[in-house]
């Protein structure tokens, strides 16, 4: 009878997971097909996985560096297997969506073992799925770190049950998802070794430390720099990894203040940690012994200079959520244990109180915090017909093996090629390459356009086959509006490139195509160089009002 | 009172406080703006509604708690202040105002009514 009941709760959980996968997969594909996805971070991974699928070095021209030097994510080689047969970001979306849904299963298993109540285990796992920090991560393009979540949870389950082999396998897969996950595995091993007294877990500690040491050397080597640029995000604490740790330890009150306030880009001080804890009904606070081991991963987010780390909708919480989910399960267990002191007649009411509180917190937070984030990421999409017309137009004029530079939202449909750049790269390098400056440009968007003569020189010396421009892009990133408009005029007045096609507000230029003939497609007929820029500007402004 | 009874009482009041706080936060988020008058952040109708929520929860939880009703009511009323820590939206918390302490007398009333 018990196994039959377990069976029904598991089936219910699996059905919930299936609905979760179908709904979020649909949203992601819709966002991609309607040109709402960006070069950063979908185009980057599309190109990386496409190169891996074709046995090429994953030097991603969208980012200007080897993808493994940017973030150490060898798990992408697994995603590349189906990509070889059908190159479509569907595989990226499917893998990350299934990964998040699959995380519910080890959590259910853990909860069932500790709580011994199948339906409670199922609602705890569903609470994890409905955490607004979790499902909103899926909307922002693709991030391999999301693939680590089920492996980390399997590793937590194995550490809890004392199964070193399963732990090792899960840990290896998790480590392959991003360099930050090594800190999760290190702290998890330490937890299993110190708190759970699992002697074998010391091997996990040693292995994780070795992995961190190797990755910290390997990433800069692959990127061709001395130190990973991401260390600069912690520069107020120190220059090197050990220096950063030392800086935090020697300024504990400042660090504590940052950990508590954790201010985001638009998120007020103190709100982000509450957004993480409240959907789990604050139950994780009842497992401080476990949360303490998750603190270093939280510190990576809270002490970082990039404020977007502390916003819902981004992937950064993915290394904290497994800790919170398991801590909430332990919180549940402790509350149920405490309640066993109550007379039997009142225990039912106690269980009902716990369940009601959990369900209301989960439902309210999912309803209140999730949809605005989804709406934000779905607000940039074009009408389906317009998006399809643009993609058809691009495919009609640009051969699959040609090199292209295009604005961020037009990179994903063109990403499966050896050389694809985000405009204005490669002519003016912005957010391109492994430097700290490139990283800062991603945040600041204060790029000064090059003078026209220098820009034309670079267009001549570092040509790409095609340049795609859009008069009304939803996003000018990584440029501001003024810089984008200036650089567009630089491109349109460069005699080395000619316009070969104009449709709607999209213009395609080809290297060495007829310049004068191209201008006629734009409605510019002047032969006088001094008037050319003004006339092109007028034509460009006209293009902004042309509808598809 | 035994230590185990203290633990169970605190646990009940903690969870009850979160339940009350969440319902209060939901009321503040979901009710139409006309319930908010200009003088205070939380209008009298809103505060009365919040108080009623806590009265009911306290009344319902009284049998689960041990010890004096007044102390339990006080603790539950303070735990219900968790509403102040529940983000209004993805970016902000609502401003705190002393009038939100209505949860304390409300919890005392609820506990007193539930006293056998």
pLDDT in tens, A9-59: 999 999 999 999 999 999 999 999 999 999 999 999 999 999 999 999 999
* A87 and A52 Cβ atoms separated by less than 8 Å: no
CA B44 to chain A, closest CA, distance in angstroms equals 24
For B1-13, what is each residue's pLDDT tens digit? 688 899 999 999 9
Pair A529, A457: CB distance under 8 Å: no
B28 preceded by a cis bond (ω within 30 of 0)? no
Closest Cα to residue A46, out of A82, A77, A88?
A88
A-B contacts at Cβ under 8 angstroms: 84
Quote the CA–CA distance of A24 and A17 in Å, as a whole number. 11
- Taking CA–CA distances from B25, the nearest residue in chain A reads A364
C-alpha triplet A504, A510, A515: angle, nearest 5°: 90
Q: pLDDT under 70 in chain A at which residues?
A: 1-6, 526-527
| CB distance B90 to A369 below 8 Å | yes
pLDDT the model gives residue A133: 96
CB contact under 8 A, B29 and A266: no
Q: Please give the angle made by the CA atoms of A291, A262 and A324, to the nearest 5 degrees.
A: 25
Res A71: pLDDT: 95
CB contact under 8 A, B8 and A361: no
CA dihedral A81, A129, A113, A115 (to 10 degrees): 180
Q: Which residues of B touch A338 (CB under 8 A)?
A: 7-8, 11
Reference A184, options A102, A74, A259, A294; nearest CA is A294
Residue of B nearest to A280 (CA): B18
Q: Distance between CA atoms of A133 and A136, rounded to whole angstroms?
A: 6
Is residue A362 within 8 Å of residue A127, measured between CB atoms? yes
What is the Cα–Cα distance from A302 to A315, expressed in whole angstroms?
14
- pLDDT for res A244: 94
> pLDDT value at position A104?
98
Nearest to A293, CA basis, from A326, A317, A271: A326
Q: Does pLDDT of B37 surpass 70?
A: no
SS3 A420: strand
Predicted confidence at residue A2, as pLDDT, reads 54
CA A108, A109, A113, A116 torsion-angle sign: positive
CA distances from A503 to A163, A250, A470, A514, A522 (A): 61, 60, 10, 18, 10
- Residue B39 C-alpha, separation from nearest chain A C-alpha, in angstroms: 24
What is the model's pLDDT at position A3? 60
User: Which residues of chain A are within 8 Å of residue B18 when distances are taken between CB atoms?
Assistant: 281-282, 357, 361
User: How far, in Å, CA of B11 to CA of A401, rounded?
Assistant: 65
Q: Are A63 and A38 in contact (CB under 8 A)?
A: no
Interface residue A344 vs chain B (CB under 8 A): no
Question: Helix-strand-coil percent breakdown of chain A, rounded to 5?
Answer: 65, 5, 30
Tokens 């979908």 appear where?
A42
What is the reported pLDDT for B35? Answer: 61
Inter-chain CB proximity A364 and B89 less than 8 Å: no
% of chain B residues with pLDDT over 70: 91
User: Of B15, B82, B93, which has the smallest distance from its Cβ to A354's Cβ?
Assistant: B15
What is the complex's ipTM, to 2 decimals? 0.95
What residues of chain A lie within 8 A of the CB of B82, using their CB?
282
Task: Specify the pLDDT at position B40.
Answer: 67
pLDDT at residue B34, rounded to an integer: 56
pLDDT band at B113 (very low <50, low <70, confident <90, very high): very high
Chain A, nearest residue to B88 by Cα:
A368
Q: Which residues of chain A from 270 to 299 reach within 8 Å of chain B, CB to CB? A: 270-271, 274-275, 278, 281-282
Looking at the complex, report in whole angstroms how far the Cα of residue B4 sits from the nearest Cα belonging to chain A.
7
- By the 8 A CB rule, do A418 and A51 touch? yes
Beta bridge partners of A40: none
Residue A470's φ and ψ, nearest 5 degrees, are: -130, 130
Separation CA B64–CA B40 (nearest Å): 35
What is the rounded CA–CA span in Å between residue A173 and residue A159?
15
Which residue, chain included where needed, has tokens 């595995």? Answer: A185
Q: What is the pLDDT of residue A248?
A: 95
């Amino acid at each position: 009878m018990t196994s039959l009941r377990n069976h029904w709760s598991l089936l219910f959980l699996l059905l919930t997971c299936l609905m979760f996968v179908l709904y979020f997969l649909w949203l992601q594909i819709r966002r991609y097909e309607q040109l709402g996805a960006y070069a950063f971070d979908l185009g980057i991974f599309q190109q990386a996985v496409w190169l891996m699928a074709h046995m090429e070095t994953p030097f991603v021209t969208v980012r200007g560096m080897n993808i493994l030097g940017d973030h150490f994510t060898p798990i992408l080689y697994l995603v590349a297997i189906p990509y070889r047969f059908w190159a479509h970001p569907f595989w990226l979306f499917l893998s990350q969506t299934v990964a998040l849904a699959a995380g519910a299963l080890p959590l259910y298993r853990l909860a069932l073992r500790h709580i011994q109540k199948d339906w409670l285990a199922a609602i705890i796992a569903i609470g994890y799925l409905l955490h607004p920090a979790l499902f909103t991560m899926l909307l922002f393009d693709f991030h391999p770190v999301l693939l680590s979540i089920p492996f980390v949870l399997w590793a937590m389950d194995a550490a809890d049950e004392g199964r070193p082999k399963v732990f090792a396998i899960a840990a290896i897969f998790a480590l392959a998802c991003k360099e930050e996950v090594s800190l999760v595995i290190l702290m998890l091993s330490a937890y299993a070794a110190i708190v759970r007294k699992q002697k074998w877990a010391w091997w996990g500690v040693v292995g994780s430390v070795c992995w961190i040491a190797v990755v910290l050397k390997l990433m800069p080597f692959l990127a061709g720099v001395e130190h990973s640029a991401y260390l600069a995000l912690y520069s107020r604490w120190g220059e090197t990894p050990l220096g950063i740790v030392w800086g935090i330890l020697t300024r504990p009150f400042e660090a504590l203040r940052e950990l508590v306030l954790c201010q985001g880009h638009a998120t007020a001080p103190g709100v982000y940690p509450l957004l993480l804890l409240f959907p789990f009904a604050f139950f994780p606070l009842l497992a401080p012994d476990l949360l303490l081991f998750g603190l270093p991963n939280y510190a990576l987010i809270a002490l970082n200079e990039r404020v977007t780390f502390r916003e819902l909708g981004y992937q950064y919480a993915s290394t904290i959520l497994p800790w919170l989910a398991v801590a909430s399960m332990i919180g549940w267990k402790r509350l149920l244990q405490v309640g066993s002191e109550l007379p039997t007649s009142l225990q039912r009411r106690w269980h009902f109180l716990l369940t009601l509180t959990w369900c209301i917190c989960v439902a309210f937070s999912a309803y209140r915090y999730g949809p605005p984030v989804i709406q934000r990421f779905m607000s940039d999409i074009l009408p389906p017909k317009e998006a399809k017309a643009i993609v058809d137009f691009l495919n009609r004029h640009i051969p699959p093996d040609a090199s292209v530079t295009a604005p961020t939202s037009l990179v994903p449909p063109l990403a499966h090629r050896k050389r694809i750049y985000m405009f204005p790269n490669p002519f003016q390098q912005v957010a391109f390459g492994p430097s700290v400056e490139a990283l800062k440009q991603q945040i600041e968007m204060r790029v000064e356009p090059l003078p026209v003569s220098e820009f034309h020189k670079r267009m001549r010396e570092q040509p790409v086959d095609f340049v795609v421009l859009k008069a009304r892009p939803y996003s000018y990133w990584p440029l501001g509006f003024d810089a984008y408009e200036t650089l567009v005029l630089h491109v349109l007045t460069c005699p080395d490139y000619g316009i070969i096609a104009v449709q709607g507000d999209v213009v395609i230029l080809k290297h060495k195509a007829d310049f004068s003939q191209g201008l006629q497609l734009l409605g510019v007929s002047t032969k006088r160089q001094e008037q050319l820029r003004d006339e092109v500007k007028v034509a460009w402004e006209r293009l902004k009002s042309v509808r598809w | 009172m035994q230590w185990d009874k203290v633990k169970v009482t605190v646990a009940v009041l903690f969870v009850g406080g979160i339940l009350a706080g969440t319902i209060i936060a939901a009321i503040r988020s979901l009710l139409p703006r006309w319930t908010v008058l200009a003088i205070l952040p939380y209008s009298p109708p809103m505060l009365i509604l919040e108080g009623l929520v806590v009265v009911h929860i306290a009344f319902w939880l009284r049998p689960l708690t041990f010890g004096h009703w007044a102390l339990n009511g006080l603790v539950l009323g303070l735990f219900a202040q968790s509403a102040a820590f529940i983000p209004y939206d993805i970016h902000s918390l609502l401003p705190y105002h002393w009038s939100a302490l209505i949860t304390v007398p409300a919890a005392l009333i609820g506990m007193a009514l539930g006293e056998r």
